[in-house]
Structure 1
């Protein structure tokens, strides 16, 4: 019996635990069947069927665990229902499915009856209690990470047993979403999860629930994001990236966070950490769930405890359980890293108080103060990102004893001038600072030399048109702009413009903005002299004096303080900025197609004087520094893209249709979804239905065999066909996928780094070959080849052995077809081009004739083979100086036309229109039109398909002489 099963049993009533402490569910079910409960099939057949179905359920992610681990009727019933509705199982293994329909019902009866209760008697109650205690001890020994150590006292009491009553709902691998936004409840765990929710969460609705991490409660949002008409619930637990719970997860799962952050930085996607960390969700009470963190690093587990938010004292339980400086330094390191404000500069006395006092020897050697120090406290301090400052040891010790201690340690997160300037300008955005103030602040707080601060690269001027950090508004005076990560929206200003802006006082600017906001609701027209005169009148009425600046100065103020769009300046209140942000958050998506957002809130935005999508884009870029607009998407969260959202949806289930994705992700553009599904990681499994490569079972062991096979084949020749690969095991493991999807996924995962693929043909990198290329090479190397031979060769490139006329194209491109069944090399024929063209001209009096129009070859000079329509087609295709061959599609039925090279036309449909125009056929009779073209050898079918109306219309215009 494994640990999970023991935990499950330990959470049951005592009478249920006693029996199943030593007897597994499979054994209990077997005994129950043998006691006269087996029906139609023997107990052995039923158990064998349940074993196979259990493996199938886990493999298909219908269940996260073996069916034998379900010991509750209500928990197993939803799993049984899903398996009963599994159409693929019913089709691929009908006999097993048929047995399971009965076997599953019997197991439900078994769970409902709970026959193990009968073995419990009052006489052995004391023994049972001993068994339970032993079982609990064994469980804790097996899985210590499941129960936080800080809540387990040394004595076994009620508080000790409390964690054991938490019911495991599901286990989740740590991914980028968990560390930033939340997680999706797997379909196999939805019923168990909902059983702990007060009331039903309807489609499109949400409600707050509580997550307990360590001993801290966090409020999060539970949403049902299923689309209308879908009976399945699709539950998501969400929180913001800046929330305390997200920060806690990033601390606990630091290994995964560092891995994902590096991948995001390199642009290689989120993916999954090679060394996986996990979190287990357990139910505690209605609307409350516990999240047990299982990081790889034990230090990370310790960090999930509730550490102090100030350096005054250590946690009592920590000092009771641990001794020695090492543990105290670990705690200090954690505290320093989490409280990373630049204002934290601690004195020696504060340090000593925090760690409970330092031994006198700590102050007696200079190494303690150097960067090369090996003392554990200094190591912890430096590892937390702080710099150890060199100082005079003797004077520092004396000052420490007096209690007059200067700060000896400073935070040094910013290692470059640029980082310091970015933080400084963002902190003082909108404020005017002198060069001296900036130098003093950065040199003191960030440790940079005066000469390295404010180089020309970080100023705005005529020679630097890129948006930077500061704008020089006077000699030695700068306006802090903040760092524009999108590098848009700030333009270069001339010396006059800068002076003009700086000469207007702050009070005067405030008056200007107030009048524009109040009197020009629909915008101030920058180029309008009428609006400027209106502004001056409003100013004089409001303040009893004339506006003393010209229009150009007013424009400078508005260019910086207002949103200028389409020659109009708009002033918006801060409340509007907050309101639009609320609307954005209501979309419940970190990526929002800007058109979709505008259309949803168009009435509200119009009332706010935001009249178009482009104006909305300008508004966002002007008012938010944490929100950007890229690729027509509003990005509320840095590092998130529409493709990330689509990939996250595919983690909910294996396949999605395009229509379902549209309904599931209404904030995304349809073209974005379509383009993403055409990417290398997505594969079509049916018409309009796709899967992601992560949802395909592609074992490495089989992949290595494929790699070895391809490498060996390419030693023998220049290509390998996908038909030659043994994909049978991959197909068996992915019955929901088509052959083409499996083939392409196997190539992408195992071969794409070293090889190229074109259709079915795999070659070395840079040596792409088409099937047509291979067929043409085959023909060039042959003196003669039959149609059947080359057709059969083409069939080897198709998974189903079909041909697509590529062999005919290859034959016509490289050889001469002398009969219906034979192609020969050019050296086997001898064409007298001039005489043959003269003979063709006797038949082609106009610009073209159908190939079948040549009915007599008596005037054609002998060319090595007897003349026929196949030989004539080959000649016209490649050798004639006067004529060329044209046809809708290559064929073996002598369909097509001989056309003079001097005749100008667009495509073969024009030939058909001219042929109809010259004929006497009634154009209003579509059947007659089709018969005429078919009987004369212009087309191979009696209808013209989609081009019929266009061709008949052109023919009619030619007859009437209107073209």
Structure 2
């Protein structure tokens, strides 16, 4: 992990000076040690002249020595020096070799921008320079100038100065002239370099450090961090800090986690290590939020609410805690209502688990799947000790725990339990139920659908693959009903012709004329016939079959080239008691075309019905 100490990136003028000094060393004009020492003083002197406070590490001799070795590695093509890839260094070396005039121009500017201290020079006679001649005066004036710089940054760039923006830099110069009455005689690049020493940079913006928050808040923040670091964890997340001090930070320049991190790096310098998401006492600290949350849940040994876990583990990022709480489902078992428990809390013996496994296997052999209700019912009746030993865990938690413990043998898809590798959806489970039962009641499939997390209406039509609904409450296996299809269709044809080729299913009431089929004729039985057996006719309906009402329109399968919507429009056009959308829907419900007052194409149907009514056209 990199050191947290605030670094200032080398600019092209500094690299040009480094190149010049290296060439002098390589030509034997100066001893390397002396050259390094002189360049260090020269670069540090620039900051001193501007009254900028610098640390002992800023451009010190060790740093210059390392940078010279990096430059030497590039110049000698790896024969000497230390490899440290740096695009700017490579560009300057290339410029020195191939565009020397351009290099000399940059070097001349560097001599002016970075004058040597009067007391030391490696270039022999020190050139006259008014700025250097009046160095003492400049050093006295510079702190005041620096203070002005900081005040302008703080007052006029409260949201940060874009350090690479010519617009922001030129605006800064204008503000400086307005404040001081004197010019800001620096190039944008030079000004940018000096401004960087006035504050900290975050996301391309510069901020004045000592004005980013009040001293009282800084001290409080530091005390809190120090307490956290010494608590045994040895780390602090920026997000958690920002959240903890959110109200107090509203009145400061620190508007996000990144900026807080930048400020902390300045505040703590090289005392701690900084990672992408947290600061730590040691560079080998690794925070695994999943492990932290799982260990916490294990230690609690009880059902825990998600929000309570987040509140207790406030030193960890909230989203990370919630993810760990909800995504480790093989360890942290859901008990419903946002609560979970550690799997180790579930008390069950190997013998009890084996008995449950055998029961599931037997049930699947007969019915293809086992529902969660059947599982819990079996446990309550045959292995009650599991319930007794886990009284704090609700039924959902018991089922979820069993799903984890038996994952190698069975697939648990919501409330459907099937063999491993044969996972069934809710719809497939409903079909399996119908296939395996000679007769059953609507209430049974409603209860099954509820336990599977679905609605029975969505499956009533698909159940007819194996079953026939003979009335409002009962279903029987298909082979129990004997249809005389030709005879039934003949009767329906006569009825449909009399009613102009289609009609609501409820209008068909001549059941005494229908042939025997083992069960009394009802609208439900007719509904099943139309959906499964009829050669000539089809039942058109809106969305899904009604659970408590038989609805739909009976029409020919072939020969009548109109849509369900057009049938609806024709039926509306034949009825003149409606005048608006609500009344039109009421008519369709009363006629038995739709089950409730919802129809997606009602506006289109009304428009078509009005056209038919206006034209007095009763044709189909």
Q: TM-score, normalised by structure 1?
A: 0.36
| Paired position in structure 1 for 2:425 | 770
| Paired position in structure 2 for 1:532 | 170
| 2:459 equivalent to 1:822 | no
| Paired position in structure 1 for 2:347 | 697
| Paired position in structure 1 for 2:253 | 609
Query: In 1, distance between residues paired with 2:595 and 2:492?
Result: 27
Tell me by how many angstroms 1:736 deviates: 1.0
Three-state SS of the structure 1 residue aligned to 2:255 is coil
| Paired position in structure 1 for 2:397 | 741
Q: TM-score, normalised by structure 2?
A: 0.51
Three-state SS of the structure 2 residue aligned to 1:788 is strand
Could you say if the C-alpha distance between residues 645 and 685 of structure 1 is closer, same or farther in structure 2, counting changes exceeding 3 Å? closer
Could you say if the C-alpha distance between residues 857 and 701 of structure 1 is closer, same or farther in structure 2, counting changes exceeding 3 Å? closer
Could you say if the C-alpha distance between residues 866 and 762 of structure 1 is closer, same or farther in structure 2, counting changes exceeding 3 Å? closer
| Paired position in structure 1 for 2:207 | 570
RMSD: 6.7
Gaps of 5+ in 1: 1-427, 441-449, 463-470, 477-494
Q: Deviations over 1:434-457 (max 9, x none)?
A: 3775799xxxxxxxxx989976xx
| Paired position in structure 1 for 2:289 | 641
1:751 equivalent among 393, 403, 406: 406
Could you say if the C-alpha distance between residues 648 and 875 of structure 1 is closer, same or farther in structure 2, counting changes exceeding 3 Å? same
Q: Deviations over 1:321-354 (max 9, x none)?
A: xxxxxxxxxxxxxxxxxxxxxxxxxxxxxxxxxx
Q: Deviations over 1:251-299 (max 9, x none)?
A: xxxxxxxxxxxxxxxxxxxxxxxxxxxxxxxxxxxxxxxxxxxxxxxxx
| Paired position in structure 2 for 1:761 | 416
| Paired position in structure 2 for 1:256 | none
Tell me by how many angstroms 1:461 deviates: 4.9
Q: Deviations over 1:338-377 (max 9, x none)?
A: xxxxxxxxxxxxxxxxxxxxxxxxxxxxxxxxxxxxxxxx
Could you say if the C-alpha distance between residues 545 and 653 of structure 1 is closer, same or farther in structure 2, counting changes exceeding 3 Å? same
Query: In 1, distance between residues paired with 2:462 and 2:262?
Result: 56
Could you say if the C-alpha distance between residues 563 and 843 of structure 1 is closer, same or farther in structure 2, counting changes exceeding 3 Å? farther
Query: In 2, distance between residues paired with 1:837 and 1:619?
Result: 85
Tell me by how many angstroms 1:758 deviates: 1.2
2:506 equivalent among 852, 856, 861: 852
Query: In 1, distance between residues paired with 2:276 and 2:591?
Result: 60
Query: In 1, distance between residues paired with 2:352 and 2:189?
Result: 73
Could you say if the C-alpha distance between residues 934 and 712 of structure 1 is closer, same or farther in structure 2, counting changes exceeding 3 Å? closer
Q: Deviations over 1:81-106 (max 9, x none)?
A: xxxxxxxxxxxxxxxxxxxxxxxxxx
Three-state SS of the structure 2 residue aligned to 1:763 is strand
1:520 equivalent among 139, 153, 162: 153
Instruction: Please say if residues 457 and 544 of structure 2, whose CA atoms lie closer than 8 Å, have aligned partners that are also in contact.
Output: no
Query: In 1, distance between residues paired with 2:254 and 2:293?
Result: 28
| Paired position in structure 2 for 1:313 | none
2:384 equivalent among 717, 728, 732: 728
In the TM superposition, what are the counterparts of 1:375-454 in structure 2 within 5 Å?
A: 431=63, 434=66
Instruction: Please say if residues 536 and 547 of structure 1, whose CA atoms lie closer than 8 Å, have aligned partners that are also in contact.
Output: no
Query: In 2, distance between residues paired with 1:556 and 1:823?
Result: 86
| Paired position in structure 1 for 2:7 | none
1:886 equivalent among 542, 547, 552: 542
Instruction: Please say if residues 933 and 939 of structure 1, whose CA atoms lie closer than 8 Å, have aligned partners that are also in contact.
Output: yes
Query: In 1, distance between residues paired with 2:296 and 2:551?
Result: 52
| Paired position in structure 1 for 2:302 | 654
Instruction: Please say if residues 69 and 82 of structure 2, whose CA atoms lie closer than 8 Å, have aligned partners that are also in contact.
Output: no
In the TM superposition, what are the counterparts of 1:136-175 in structure 2 within 5 Å?
A: none
Instruction: Please say if residues 293 and 324 of structure 2, whose CA atoms lie closer than 8 Å, have aligned partners that are also in contact.
Output: no
Gaps of 5+ in 2: 1-59, 73-77, 95-102, 117-137, 556-560, 611-620
Could you say if the C-alpha distance between residues 677 and 904 of structure 1 is closer, same or farther in structure 2, counting changes exceeding 3 Å? farther
Where relative contact order (Cα < 8 A, 6+ residues apart) is larger, the structure is 2
| Paired position in structure 2 for 1:281 | none
Query: In 1, distance between residues paired with 2:63 and 2:370?
Result: 67
Aligned length: 465
